[in-house]
Amino acid sequence: MHIEDPKVVAALSKFNVELRRASSFAELTSLAIGGTTDLLRIKNHEFIPGLLSLLDSHGVPHRFLGGGSNLLVGDGELPWVVLQLASPNRDVVLEGNFAQVDAVADLGRTVTYCAKHDLGGMEGLIGVPGTVGGALRMNAGAYGMQIGSYVREVKLYRAATRQIEILRGEQISFEYRHTSFAPDDMMLAVRLELPSKAYREILQGIRICNEKRRSSQPLGQKSAGCIFKNPPGASAGRMIDELGLKGLSVGDARVSDRHANFFVNAGRASANDMLALIADVRERVRSAFSVELEHEVVIWNA
């Protein structure tokens, strides 16, 4: 979508928002798939309510983008603009066992920074691509831990109230790859409480997780991590593998040879290729195991 209205364009600078015309999701997502639209980069949280009223009153549909590492976006010119927070200079501030973290902070870098200050607990998340805000929204987890366990407070923009609010940890429910945040809530910052642990000990945990990940996941390739959630008590990856589907492809969209729940863009896959592959695998799992796999990847296809 191209913002045409000169009044809207002029108001954007008043809100300290940078307009990047025709930005491509091939560059904004780890899958390197998706069409183009205008990107609005937000530099000050306090202008978000005003910005969103402006877009709503001029009928400009919008979506919030995090790190783009768990996202599959449709092809062509997209019918909405995309909003993204710009990174502040300092995105993690520590105070005792608390870490105040900006939602745009890189997840891996945050885990390492906390580790260097003897704060642990998040070792399992090392190697998970994306931002802290994205991890928070999805309740990212790995190797027996999930980020939700450490959340004490969240600052967010609530689309329902059109206000910036602060929620306490107990007001949020964190389940397996699911939270009680609304889809149009925008994560702004989080306060984590992390257990004290010696850096050397954390580093050991980080090395083990890194090694496990390297040996079982296609890390160097363009992917969105796991495509499907694991059904209760089972592994989507193992089921797809058991059906012999590693290497199955539609165009350049391909089931990874390394981990069957990772679908990679092996070249110039389109969103339609990837969606067709996802639908095909889902159907085969349904007919072989009578299990309806749920998407773990977020799909913006309209």
Please give the residue ranges that form the binding site for ligand EPU (CB under 6 A). 142-143, 216, 225-226, 229-230, 235-238, 241, 259-261, 296
Residue number with CB closer to ligand EPU (25 or 263): 263
Phi, psi dihedrals of residue 170, rounded to the nearest 5°: -70, -15
Please state the separation of Cα 141 from the chain's center in Å.
12
CA 256-296-284 angle, to 5 degrees, is 60
CB of 46 to ligand EPU, least distance (A): 33
Q: Please give the Cα distance from 157 to 44 (Å, whole number).
A: 12
Residue number with CB closer to ligand EPU (23 or 146): 146
Residue number with CB closer to ligand EPU (261 or 270): 261
Residue number with CB closer to ligand EPU (88 or 244): 244
List helix spans (H) across the chain: 6-14, 25-28, 48-57, 107-116, 132-138, 199-216, 236-242, 271-289
Q: Which residues contact 279 (CB under 8 A, 6 or more apart)?
A: none
Residue number with CB closer to ligand EPU (48 or 278): 278
Instruction: List own/partner pairs for 122-126 with CB under 8 A and 24 or more apart.
Output: 122/147, 122/150, 122/192, 122/194, 123/202, 123/205, 123/206, 123/208, 123/209, 124/205, 124/209, 126/206, 126/209, 126/210
CB of 146 to ligand EPU, least distance (A): 10
CB of 183 to ligand EPU, least distance (A): 18
CB of 257 to ligand EPU, least distance (A): 9
CB of 2 to ligand EPU, least distance (A): 33
CB of 238 to ligand EPU, least distance (A): 4
Residue number with CB closer to ligand EPU (104 or 227): 227
Residue whose CB is nearest to ligand EPU in the complex, by number: 225
CB of 216 to ligand EPU, least distance (A): 5
Question: What six digits make up the tokens of 45?
Answer: 């949280």
- Cβ pair 68, 108 in contact under 8 A: no
Residue number with CB closer to ligand EPU (35 or 133): 133
Interstrand relation of 71-73 and 81-85 (parallel, antiparallel or unpaired): unpaired
